[in-house]
Amino acid sequence: MLRGYYTAASGMIAQQRRQETMSNNIANALTPGYKQDQSTLRSFPEMLIQRMESNKLPTSRSFNVPMNAPIGSINTGVYVQENVSDFSQGSLKQTSMSTDLALVDGTMPDETGSIFFTVQNPEGELRYTRNGNFTADADGYLVTNQGYYVLDQAGNRIATGGVDFKVTGQGELQLPNQNVPIGVAYSANVNDLIKEGEGLYRAEGAPLAEARGQAGISFSIQQGYLEGSNVDMAQTATEMMSAYRLFEANQKVLKAYDQSMDKAVNEIGRVR
């Protein structure tokens, strides 16, 4: 019966964590470039139940031979294994702001591959984002809302000289003397990226490679647009309701176990 307690409790904890993940998705439904997280559930390893017994041998000394009789397996509950980000393309929203840029996915050589803007934090470390809600700082450099510098293809900061500039569909920022390709990095497996919050991702080990020039990759950049989040509000609300119902079901099972234990302790063994 105690195993039933743990199984029901693990189900409640798993559904609670699913609720937290989906609540975070809804909270970021209007965040540009946000990619929703999806929780994956996995069951704990099953346990094989055996009955321990012994048989007496018909000898003068009556030896007892221990034996195990298999009964069957029992499941020990579920848990949230990990949260996996969905990197599918979000819808584009026109803002008519020259500093707003949206990455538009084309073809990718890998099913788990995706592209990102390359930015640099104040410590000089590289980060990657799909949020193209940029602006120009006091020195005329293109930066994110957090103050991270947007980098070009060569890994240098982009000096725009203000907000009056043009970006081609190929992602080249047109300046008076030259065209500067905006840095676009490619990750062959987005599951290797570490989510840091505020739409930023970090790559473990070597930096991501530049997307331009790699075989099988095509994309475009739309100026005056922002990529919205890929959160489906209706589907998320439905899944939240389902998780709530499953939480309630496990709660009722736990309550039934508690009532059974109460009778076993306070009524069955009572001396009248």
What's the confidence (pLDDT) of residue 271? Answer: 61
Q: What is the pLDDT of residue 217?
A: 92
- What DSSP element (H or E) covers 240? helix 233-263
| Residue range 159-215, pLDDT digits in tens | 998 888 999 999 999 988 889 999 999 999 998 999 998 899 999 888 999 999 888
What is the reported pLDDT for 57? 66
- Measure the CA–CA gap between 6 and 11, rounded to whole angstroms: 9
Q: Mean pLDDT of successive 10-residue segments in the chain (272 residues)?
A: 78 94 95 94 78 69 71 78 91 94 92 94 93 93 94 93 88 88 94 90 91 90 96 94 94 88 75 60
Is residue 196 within 8 Å of 169, Cβ to Cβ? no
Strands 47-56 and 126-129: unpaired
So what's the pLDDT on residue 270?
66
**Predicted local confidence at residue 241, as pLDDT:** 96
Contact 217, 109 (CB under 8 A): yes
Exposed, middle or buried: residue 72 (CB in 10 Å: 0-12, 13-18, 19+)?
A: exposed
Which pLDDT value is given to residue 164?
85
pLDDT digits (tens, 9 = 90+) for 90-105: 999 999 999 999 999 9
Q: What is the pLDDT of residue 218?
A: 92
CB 216 within 8 A of CB 107: yes
Q: 252: helix, coil or strand? A: helix
CA distances 243 to 13, 28, 82, 255, Å, are: 11, 19, 16, 18
Instruction: Say what the pLDDT of residue 224 is.
Output: 95
